[in-house]
Protein backbone atom coordinates (compact mmCIF):
# COMPACT_ATOMS: atom_id res chain seq x y z
CA UNK A 1 0.00 0.00 0.00
CA UNK A 2 2.84 2.37 0.85
CA UNK A 3 4.58 1.75 -2.47
CA UNK A 4 1.63 1.37 -4.88
CA UNK A 5 -1.37 2.76 -3.00
CA UNK A 6 -1.99 5.72 -5.31
CA UNK A 7 -2.10 3.50 -8.40
CA UNK A 8 -4.20 0.69 -6.92
CA UNK A 9 -7.90 0.30 -7.80
CA UNK A 10 -10.29 0.97 -4.94
CA UNK A 11 -11.52 -2.63 -4.99
CA UNK A 12 -7.97 -3.94 -4.42
CA UNK A 13 -7.61 -1.68 -1.39
CA UNK A 14 -10.93 -2.89 0.00
CA UNK A 15 -9.87 -6.55 -0.34
CA UNK A 16 -6.54 -5.93 1.41
CA UNK A 17 -8.28 -4.05 4.21
CA UNK A 18 -10.61 -7.00 4.82
CA UNK A 19 -7.91 -9.69 4.68
CA UNK A 20 -5.58 -7.88 7.08
CA UNK A 21 -8.43 -7.45 9.61
CA UNK A 22 -9.73 -11.02 9.29
CA UNK A 23 -10.15 -12.74 12.69
CA UNK A 24 -8.32 -9.90 14.46
CA UNK A 25 -11.42 -8.56 16.23
CA UNK A 26 -11.52 -5.37 14.18
CA UNK A 27 -14.54 -6.76 12.30
CA UNK A 28 -16.34 -7.69 15.52
CA UNK A 29 -16.48 -10.88 17.58
CA UNK A 30 -18.40 -14.12 17.91
CA UNK A 31 -19.05 -15.27 21.47
CA UNK A 32 -19.14 -19.02 22.05
CA UNK A 33 -20.08 -20.95 25.15
CA UNK A 34 -20.56 -24.72 25.56
CA UNK A 35 -23.34 -26.37 27.58
CA UNK A 36 -21.05 -27.75 30.28
CA UNK A 37 -18.69 -24.81 30.84
CA UNK A 38 -19.62 -21.25 31.84
CA UNK A 39 -16.51 -19.80 30.20
CA UNK A 40 -17.08 -17.55 27.21
CA UNK A 41 -14.80 -17.81 24.16
CA UNK A 42 -14.44 -14.68 22.05
CA UNK A 43 -13.40 -15.20 18.43
CA UNK A 44 -12.68 -12.47 15.90
CA UNK A 45 -15.08 -12.52 12.98
CA UNK A 46 -13.85 -13.69 9.58
CA UNK A 47 -13.91 -11.26 6.66
CA UNK A 48 -15.57 -13.71 4.28
CA UNK A 49 -13.78 -12.27 1.26
CA UNK A 50 -13.27 -14.71 -1.60
CA UNK A 51 -9.55 -13.82 -1.82
CA UNK A 52 -8.85 -14.58 1.85
CA UNK A 53 -6.96 -17.84 2.50
CA UNK A 54 -8.46 -18.11 6.01
CA UNK A 55 -12.03 -17.90 4.77
CA UNK A 56 -11.80 -19.82 1.53
CA UNK A 57 -9.79 -22.89 2.56
CA UNK A 58 -12.93 -24.94 3.28
CA UNK A 59 -14.56 -23.84 0.03
CA UNK A 60 -11.44 -24.81 -1.91
CA UNK A 61 -11.51 -28.26 -0.32
CA UNK A 62 -15.21 -28.74 -1.16
CA UNK A 63 -14.67 -27.56 -4.75
CA UNK A 64 -11.75 -29.93 -5.16
CA UNK A 65 -13.69 -32.90 -3.77
CA UNK A 66 -16.61 -32.19 -6.11
CA UNK A 67 -14.44 -32.01 -9.24
CA UNK A 68 -12.28 -35.00 -8.28
CA UNK A 69 -15.44 -37.14 -8.28
CA UNK A 70 -16.37 -35.77 -11.70
CA UNK A 71 -13.08 -36.61 -13.42
CA UNK A 72 -13.40 -38.99 -16.35
CA UNK A 73 -11.13 -42.05 -16.66
CA UNK A 74 -9.17 -40.46 -19.53
CA UNK A 75 -5.95 -38.56 -20.17
CA UNK A 76 -6.24 -34.86 -19.24
CA UNK A 77 -4.39 -31.79 -20.49
CA UNK A 78 -3.62 -28.37 -19.06
CA UNK A 79 -3.95 -25.83 -21.88
CA UNK A 80 -2.75 -22.28 -21.22
CA UNK A 81 -3.54 -19.20 -23.33
CA UNK A 82 -1.44 -16.09 -22.69
CA UNK A 83 -1.20 -12.48 -23.91
CA UNK A 84 2.03 -10.97 -25.36
CA UNK A 85 3.94 -8.71 -22.97
CA UNK A 86 3.44 -5.65 -25.21
CA UNK A 87 -0.36 -5.87 -24.84
CA UNK A 88 -0.66 -6.67 -21.15
CA UNK A 89 -1.05 -3.13 -19.88
CA UNK A 90 -4.02 -2.60 -22.21
CA UNK A 91 -5.58 -5.77 -20.79
CA UNK A 92 -4.97 -4.51 -17.26
CA UNK A 93 -6.62 -1.18 -18.00
CA UNK A 94 -9.69 -2.92 -19.48
CA UNK A 95 -9.98 -5.98 -17.25
CA UNK A 96 -13.70 -6.62 -17.45
CA UNK A 97 -13.78 -6.90 -21.25
CA UNK A 98 -10.37 -8.49 -21.70
CA UNK A 99 -10.61 -11.18 -19.03
CA UNK A 100 -13.93 -12.31 -20.46
CA UNK A 101 -12.35 -12.43 -23.92
CA UNK A 102 -9.45 -14.52 -22.62
CA UNK A 103 -11.94 -17.16 -21.53
CA UNK A 104 -14.26 -16.94 -24.53
CA UNK A 105 -11.56 -16.94 -27.21
CA UNK A 106 -9.64 -19.74 -25.52
CA UNK A 107 -12.79 -21.85 -25.32
CA UNK A 108 -13.61 -21.14 -28.97
CA UNK A 109 -10.12 -22.20 -30.05
CA UNK A 110 -10.37 -25.43 -28.02
CA UNK A 111 -13.71 -26.37 -29.52
CA UNK A 112 -12.68 -25.47 -33.07
CA UNK A 113 -9.54 -27.59 -32.89
CA UNK A 114 -11.30 -30.51 -31.19
CA UNK A 115 -13.75 -30.66 -34.08
CA UNK A 116 -10.92 -31.37 -36.53
CA UNK A 117 -10.91 -34.98 -37.74
CA UNK A 118 -7.14 -35.21 -37.25
CA UNK A 119 -7.57 -34.56 -33.53
CA UNK A 120 -10.87 -35.64 -31.91
CA UNK A 121 -13.56 -35.07 -34.52
CA UNK A 122 -16.20 -33.66 -32.17
CA UNK A 123 -16.79 -30.38 -30.36
CA UNK A 124 -18.92 -31.99 -27.61
CA UNK A 125 -16.22 -31.76 -24.96
CA UNK A 126 -16.27 -30.57 -21.36
CA UNK A 127 -13.59 -28.33 -19.84
CA UNK A 128 -13.20 -25.37 -17.50
CA UNK A 129 -10.75 -22.51 -17.14
CA UNK A 130 -9.17 -20.50 -14.33
CA UNK A 131 -7.71 -17.01 -14.71
CA UNK A 132 -4.26 -16.06 -13.40
CA UNK A 133 -2.96 -12.51 -13.58
CA UNK A 134 0.62 -13.32 -12.58
CA UNK A 135 3.31 -15.87 -13.36
CA UNK A 136 6.15 -17.34 -11.31
CA UNK A 137 7.16 -13.79 -10.41
CA UNK A 138 4.27 -12.30 -8.43
CA UNK A 139 5.45 -8.75 -9.15
CA UNK A 140 4.96 -9.14 -12.91
CA UNK A 141 1.49 -8.76 -14.39
CA UNK A 142 0.94 -11.71 -16.75
CA UNK A 143 -2.73 -12.47 -17.57
CA UNK A 144 -3.43 -16.01 -18.79
CA UNK A 145 -6.09 -18.70 -18.55
CA UNK A 146 -5.48 -22.35 -17.65
CA UNK A 147 -8.01 -24.79 -19.14
CA UNK A 148 -8.34 -28.34 -17.77
CA UNK A 149 -9.33 -30.40 -20.81
CA UNK A 150 -10.14 -34.12 -21.16
CA UNK A 151 -8.48 -35.94 -24.04
CA UNK A 152 -11.68 -36.72 -25.89
CA UNK A 153 -15.30 -35.78 -26.48
CA UNK A 154 -18.75 -37.25 -26.98
CA UNK A 155 -19.50 -37.83 -30.65
CA UNK A 156 -21.67 -35.29 -32.45
CA UNK A 157 -24.67 -37.64 -32.34
CA UNK A 158 -24.08 -38.45 -28.66
CA UNK A 159 -23.69 -42.17 -29.24
CA UNK A 160 -20.07 -42.78 -28.20
CA UNK A 161 -16.89 -41.43 -26.65
CA UNK A 162 -14.14 -40.32 -29.05
CA UNK A 163 -10.58 -40.32 -27.69
CA UNK A 164 -7.84 -37.94 -28.73
CA UNK A 165 -4.62 -39.55 -29.98
CA UNK A 166 -2.43 -40.81 -27.15
CA UNK A 167 -0.44 -38.00 -25.45
CA UNK A 168 -1.64 -35.51 -28.06
CA UNK A 169 -4.56 -33.09 -27.98
CA UNK A 170 -3.73 -30.65 -30.79
CA UNK A 171 -0.65 -28.72 -32.03
CA UNK A 172 0.35 -25.74 -29.92
CA UNK A 173 1.47 -23.83 -33.02
CA UNK A 174 -1.94 -24.12 -34.67
CA UNK A 175 -3.70 -22.88 -31.53
CA UNK A 176 -1.20 -20.02 -31.24
CA UNK A 177 -2.21 -18.81 -34.72
CA UNK A 178 -5.97 -19.16 -34.23
CA UNK A 179 -6.17 -17.48 -30.84
CA UNK A 180 -4.89 -13.95 -31.71
CA UNK A 181 -7.46 -13.55 -34.47
CA UNK A 182 -10.31 -14.48 -32.17
CA UNK A 183 -9.06 -12.15 -29.46
CA UNK A 184 -8.69 -9.29 -31.94
CA UNK A 185 -12.28 -9.80 -33.13
CA UNK A 186 -13.45 -9.68 -29.50
CA UNK A 187 -11.53 -6.45 -28.88
CA UNK A 188 -12.96 -4.93 -32.04
CA UNK A 189 -16.47 -5.74 -30.79
CA UNK A 190 -15.62 -4.21 -27.40
CA UNK A 191 -14.32 -1.04 -29.07
CA UNK A 192 -10.77 -1.58 -27.81
CA UNK A 193 -8.94 -2.52 -31.01
CA UNK A 194 -7.38 0.94 -31.40
CA UNK A 195 -5.83 0.80 -27.93
CA UNK A 196 -4.17 -2.51 -28.77
CA UNK A 197 -3.02 -1.16 -32.13
CA UNK A 198 -1.29 1.72 -30.37
CA UNK A 199 0.43 -0.64 -27.94
CA UNK A 200 1.80 -3.00 -30.63
CA UNK A 201 0.17 -3.13 -34.06
CA UNK A 202 2.32 -6.08 -35.14
CA UNK A 203 1.32 -8.30 -32.20
CA UNK A 204 -1.81 -9.55 -33.97
CA UNK A 205 0.24 -11.06 -36.77
CA UNK A 206 2.61 -13.05 -34.57
CA UNK A 207 1.85 -16.43 -32.97
CA UNK A 208 0.90 -16.06 -29.30
CA UNK A 209 2.07 -18.47 -26.65
CA UNK A 210 -0.28 -21.42 -26.15
CA UNK A 211 0.99 -24.25 -23.96
CA UNK A 212 -0.51 -27.76 -24.09
CA UNK A 213 0.76 -30.11 -21.39
CA UNK A 214 -0.40 -33.66 -20.53
CA UNK A 215 -1.88 -33.66 -17.01
CA UNK A 216 -2.26 -37.37 -16.30
CA UNK A 217 -5.63 -38.22 -14.76
CA UNK A 218 -6.31 -34.55 -14.02
CA UNK A 219 -5.96 -34.70 -10.24
CA UNK A 220 -2.72 -32.69 -10.06
CA UNK A 221 -4.18 -29.94 -12.26
CA UNK A 222 -7.25 -29.65 -10.04
CA UNK A 223 -5.15 -29.47 -6.87
CA UNK A 224 -3.04 -26.75 -8.45
CA UNK A 225 -6.04 -24.63 -9.45
CA UNK A 226 -8.30 -25.16 -6.40
CA UNK A 227 -6.84 -22.32 -4.25
CA UNK A 228 -7.18 -19.85 -7.15
CA UNK A 229 -10.71 -20.81 -8.18
CA UNK A 230 -11.98 -19.93 -4.70
Percentage of residues of the chain with pLDDT beyond 90: 51
User: Confidence band (pLDDT; 50, 70, 90) for 225?
Assistant: confident
pLDDT of 105 over the 90 cut: yes
What per-residue confidence (pLDDT) applies to 228? Answer: 76
Q: Average pLDDT of 60-87?
A: 91
The overall average pLDDT reported for the chain is 89
In this prediction, residue 230 has a pLDDT band, given cuts at 50, 70 and 90, of: low
Q: Which of 46, 43, 47 is nearest to 15 (CA)?
A: 47
Band of the pLDDT at 212, cuts 50, 70, 90? Answer: very high
Segment 105-124 mean pLDDT: 90
pLDDT for position 196: 92
* Rounded-to-integer distance, Cα 45 and Cα 62, Å: 22
For residue 125, pLDDT beyond 90: no
Give the mean model confidence (pLDDT) for residues 160-179. Answer: 88
DSSP string, 140-209: SEEEEEEEEEESEEE-TTSSSEEEPPTT-SS-HHHHHHHHHHHHHHHHHHTT-HHHHHHHHGGGGGSPPP
CA 91, 97, 103, 106 dihedral sign is negative
Q: What is the three-class DSSP state of 42?
A: strand
Residue 28: predicted pLDDT = 92
Task: Count CA atoms closer than 13 A to 71's CA, side-chain side.
Answer: 21
Domain residue spans of the chain: 5-51, 56-229
**What's the pTM?**
0.79
CB 29 within 8 A of CB 41: no
Phi, psi of 218 (to 5 degrees): 95, -15
Predicted confidence (pLDDT) per residue in 172-183, tens digit: 889 999 999 999
Overall average pLDDT of the 108-131 stretch: 90
Going by pLDDT thresholds of 50, 70 and 90, the confidence category of residue 36 is confident
Binning pLDDT at 50, 70 and 90, where does residue 59 land?
Answer: confident
Amino acid sequence: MKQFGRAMPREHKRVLALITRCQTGELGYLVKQCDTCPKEHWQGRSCGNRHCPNCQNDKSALWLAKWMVGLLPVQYYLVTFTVPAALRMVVRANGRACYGALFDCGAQALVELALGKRFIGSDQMGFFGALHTWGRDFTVYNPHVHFVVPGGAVSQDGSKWMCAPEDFLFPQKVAAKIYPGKFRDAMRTAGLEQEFQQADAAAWFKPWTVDVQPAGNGEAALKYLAPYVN
